Amino acid sequence: MNRTASFTVGIVGATGGVGQELLQLLQERRFPISSLRLFASARSAGRVVEVGGQRLTIEEARPGCFADVDLAFFAAGGPTTRALAPDAVKAGCLVIDKSSAYRMDPKVPLVIPEINPEALRAHAGIIANPNCSTAVTLMALWPLHQRFGLKRYFASTYQSVSGSGAQGVIELENQVQAYAKGEPIPRALYPYQIAFNLIPQVDTFGANGYTGEETKMMQESRKIMGLPNLAVSATCVRVPVVRAHSVSINAEFERPVTVEAARAAISAFAGATLVDDPAGQKYPTPLDFSRQVKCGVGRIRLDTAMENGLALWVSGDNLWKGAALNAIQNAELMAREGLLKPKAALAGV
């Protein structure tokens, strides 16, 4: 990255789970920041937090707060993005958004930097982050598509409770503690008990019986991979895991496949780590790939129900590659390529 430029960076939703991950990763990855601004709801405004030895006051996220901000990571929900992102863009601030608000807008790039970095050049002030389960899934499928030509895929997800935010983690922990004490199981967030259980519903159901999460996987895969006719069928499941999503994938390709060639493609891909040794019982797990930059891919085998098909498994951190890390990687790439400049530089100051 070109270290000669540094930026005034804002985080909208700085007190939430993804906001906290952004703060940690920005420091660890030494993103060039000249000034850091933290934004949250009115109820959090005024709180003082310590970040990297600095005491910063949280500001209310509201129109007009982006005048001096070069880059804003939006880590809140879709309503906040829709309310504030246009104001940020009008102020000349680049928005990198984790919500679904603009993902399918044809004018907004939806970017995973290992897959479609060229899309960053076509932005009009907003860059969208993919859904967490989509991001993890495509870390396994993209290198295989490049090698064999992806025709269609079926996916079953195993999504951690941190994908529901801090309340998901709290609910799982409270239920496990209540179970251990023999007390009634408390339930507030999920429609069913999540401890020692599985819930085959992530997001709300549509008229076709698919949930929003399942529809996102289809639509976002098509846009990111540049495959508008890609056939996708997904079942998304919440599991009692704290962090990192996993996905079981069955994919069919245009060209003949081999396990050896598939393993080689995964090994050579920047976004994945091959963990595939059946004899040694080695394969990716959510625990192993929590707080990891890359996603783990394994259990690669020939699919027995499809011609030119592969069955495989992938695990990846939903708060990192599925959210905060991917957003920062996009910003790093833009800074490195000269696509992101401080407002002062643009004004000739």
Give the residue carrying structure tokens 């129109």.
Answer: 63
Q: How far is CA 226 from CA 97, 116, 146, 219, 258, in A?
A: 20, 9, 12, 11, 24
Residue 145 is among the residues annotated as catalytic for this protein:
no
Closest among 245, 264, 253 to 311, alpha carbons compared: 253
**DSSP E strand boundaries for 18-160:** 33-40, 48-51, 54-57, 59-60, 71-74, 94-97, 126-128, 150-158
Looking at 65, 93, 132, 236, which residue is catalytic?
A: 132
Residue 245 is among the residues annotated as catalytic for this protein:
yes
Per DSSP, the three-state class of 54 is strand
Helix axes 132-148, 212-225, angle to 10 degrees: 40
Chain CA centroid to CA 278, Å: 29
Query: CB neighbours (10 Å) of residue 208?
Result: 7
Longest CA–CA span in the chain (Å) reads 67
Looking at 65, 93, 123, 245, which residue is catalytic?
A: 245
| Catalytic residue ranges | 132, 245
